[in-house]
């Protein structure tokens, strides 16, 4: 497809990817005891767990069993604000904790590991991003949720993968030109669908970038009946082979909604836990990260999401450290584009758990 507006980009920066953390294995009784202890501490501390679909399956189950939630980043933001609990424990990556704190300044927001970052956030330093925006004052600044509070504070809109298409389409219909950051793959996908005029920051997700299109073609030939589900942080050639492109919620919904018995899934492997729960009889196949040029640094598992475990969650509850703090001046500005997104979602009925929005 020809781009109606060829992309203008800025230089990419290298990201150091840590090894995937390894946690001590637990017997079933040990795990059961650990979960009970964590549940008791959550009750005592009036705390609720807000977990992402990429985190460890035990954490996802614990979040649901204890009255918390497991969700995509849009729903995580919304859920935290709807809770009466005085403490939110965000099991995910740092931008998710920061978004929860920005929306809920009166609550304590804790994370099992404050070093759980994201390559998109790391690849978009606020000072350089602000310079880029200042060079293009006629553009509406739309940033992906996977960014720091400072970057959000310089934006007009925050979006997640579950709402990016709808918001950019809305802005393009109003004739607005868009400066998009930081994920160039998601940005190019949004542009290809909406036809919006867009400038791009040159960031990427180290996990999704490793999916390989030629190897995927081979896997599709081996499984011709399988539907291909792709998160839009993946490269263009991988997205081009998808039957469904969408947020983590949209991909989970696709597995339950579609008639196919087999699915090839191009996103972080943590999502398989919820997919198996929702559709135990369906066959789920990991999209390949091997093939020409493969480095398999992450091998479809986000190392930063892997920094959340039952072990450090218990330590967190025992010590009460790892609190997210946001400079009030930054918070005051960052809350506006996030709230704009949530208001838009509510008005349009977008991103509710039962809807398959991209």
Interface with ligand SF4 by CB under 6 A: which residues?
Answer: 93, 118-120, 146, 205-207, 233, 268, 302, 304-305
Using CB distances below 5 to 8 A depending on partner kind, what does residue 119 bind out of ligand 13P, ligand SF4, none? ligand SF4
* Minimum gap (Å) between residue 248 Cβ and ligand 13P: 4
Closest contact distance (angstroms) between CB of 287 and ligand 13P is 14
Asked if 162 is part of the footprint of ligand 13P (rule: CB under 6 A), the reply reads yes
For residue 20, how many other CB atoms are within 10 A of its CB?
15
Q: Given its phi and psi angles, is residue 282 left (phi above 0), alpha (psi -120 to 50 degrees) or beta?
A: beta
- C-alpha 345/C-alpha 350 separation (Å) is 5
Which of ligand SF4, ligand 13P, none lies near 50, with the C-beta cut-off 5 to 8 A by kind?
Answer: none
User: Considering the complex, what minimum distance in angstroms separates the CB of residue 45 from ligand 13P?
Assistant: 26
Pick between residue 87 and residue 204 the one whose CB is nearest to ligand SF4.
204
79 makes contact, choosing from ligand SF4, ligand 13P, none, with CB < 5 to 8 Å by partner type, with: none
Stretch that binds ligand 13P, among 66-74, 132-140, 320-328, 344-352 (CB under 6 A): 66-74
Closest distance of CB 96 from ligand SF4, Å: 8
Is residue 72 involved in binding ligand 13P (CB under 6 A)?
A: yes
- Select from ligand SF4, ligand 13P, none the partner in contact with residue 179, using the beta carbon and a kind-dependent cut-off of 5 to 8 Å: none
If contact means CB under 5 to 8 A according to the sort of partner, which of ligand 13P, ligand SF4, none does residue 312 touch?
none
Q: Does 289 bind ligand 13P (CB under 6 A)?
A: no
β-strand partners of 140: 178
**Cβ-based nearer residue to ligand 13P, 276 or 301:** 301
Q: Are 245 and 251 in contact (CB under 8 A)?
A: no
Interior angle at CA 330, CA 329 and CA 335, nearest 5: 110
63 binds, among ligand 13P, ligand SF4, none (CB under 5 to 8 A by kind): none
Name which of residues 117 to 146 contact ligand 13P (CB under 6 A): 146
Rounded to 5 degrees, what angle do the CA atoms 71, 95, 354 make? Answer: 20
Taking CB under 6 A as the rule, does residue 233 contact ligand 13P?
Answer: yes
Our CA dihedral for 238, 216, 230, 89, rounded to 10 degrees, sits at -110
Q: Is 161 among the residues that bind ligand 13P (CB under 6 A)?
A: yes
Which of 308, 317 has the CB closer to ligand 13P? 308
**Min dist. Cβ of residue 46 to ligand SF4 (A):** 28
Q: Which stretches does DSSP call E strand in the chain?
A: 8-9, 47-52, 69-71, 87-91, 108-110, 140-144, 157-159, 178-181, 198-200, 227-230, 244-245, 262-266, 283-286
CA 6 vs CA 9, 151, 235, 303, 321: distances in Å = 10, 25, 17, 33, 47
Residue whose CB is less far from ligand SF4, 302 or 324: 302
Residues 6+ away with beta carbon under 8 Å from 208: 185, 231, 233, 234, 235, 266, 267, 268
Q: Which of 117, 150, 247, 289 binds ligand 13P (CB under 6 A)?
A: 247
Q: Which two tokens stand for residue 249?
A: 């919620």
Query: Least distance from C-beta 177 to ligand SF4, angstroms?
Result: 25
Q: Given the complex with ligand 13P, which of 162 and 288 has the nearer CB atom?
A: 162
Q: Is 63 in the site for ligand 13P (CB under 6 A)?
A: no
Applying CB under 6 A, which of residues 55, 60, 147, 160 lies at the interface with ligand 13P? 160
Closest to ligand SF4 by CB, 140 or 146: 146
DSSP of 135-200, one letter per residue? T-TTSEEEEESSS-HHHHHT-SEEE-TTTHHHHHHHHHHTT--EEEESBHHHHHHHHHHH---EEE
Half-sphere exposure of 275 (CA within 13 A, CB side): 27
Cα-based distances in Å from 24 to 31, 256, 310 = 11, 33, 10
């Amino acid at each position: 497809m020809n781009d109606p507006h060829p992309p203008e980009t800025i230089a990419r920066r290298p990201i150091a990817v840590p090894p995937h953390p390894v946690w001590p294995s637990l017997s079933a009784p040990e795990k059961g005891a650990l979960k009970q202890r964590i549940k008791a501490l959550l009750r005592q501390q009036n705390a609720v767990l807000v977990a992402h679909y990429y985190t460890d399956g035990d954490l996802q189950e614990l979040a649901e069993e204890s009255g918390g939630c497991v969700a995509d980043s849009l729903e995580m933001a919304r859920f935290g604000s709807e809770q009466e609990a005085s403490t939110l424990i965000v099991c995910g990556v740092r931008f998710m904790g920061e978004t929860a704190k920005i929306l809920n300044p009166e609550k304590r927001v804790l994370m099992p590991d404050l070093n759980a970052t994201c390559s998109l956030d790391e690849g978009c330093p606020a000072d350089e991003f602000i310079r880029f925006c200042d060079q293009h004052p006629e553009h509406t600044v739309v940033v992906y949720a996977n960014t720091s509070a400072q970057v959000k504070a310089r934006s007009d809109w925050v979006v997640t993968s579950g709402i990016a298409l709808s918001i950019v389409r809305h802005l393009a219909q109003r004739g607005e030109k868009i400066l998009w950051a930081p994920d160039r793959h998601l940005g190019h996908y949004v542009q290809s669908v909406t036809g919006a005029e867009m400038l791009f920051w040159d960031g990427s997700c180290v996990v999704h970038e490793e999916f390989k299109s030629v190897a995927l073609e081979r896997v599709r030939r081996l499984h011709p009946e399988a539907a291909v589900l792709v998160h839009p942080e993946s490269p263009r050639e991988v997205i081009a082979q998808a039957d469904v492109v969408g947020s983590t919620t949209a991909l989970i919904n696709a597995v339950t909604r579609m008639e196919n018995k087999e699915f090839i899934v191009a996103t972080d492997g943590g999502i398989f836990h919820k997919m198996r729960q929702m559709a135990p009889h369906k066959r789920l196949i990991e999209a390949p990260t091997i093939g020409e040029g493969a480095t398999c640094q992450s091998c479809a598992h986000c190392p930063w999401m892997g920094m959340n475990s039952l072990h450090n969650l218990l330590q967190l509850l025992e010590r009460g450290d790892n609190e997210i703090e946001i400079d009030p001046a930054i918070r005051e500005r960052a809350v506006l584009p996030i709230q704009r997104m949530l208001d838009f979602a509510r008005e349009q009925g977008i991103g509710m758990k039962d809807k398959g929005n991209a």
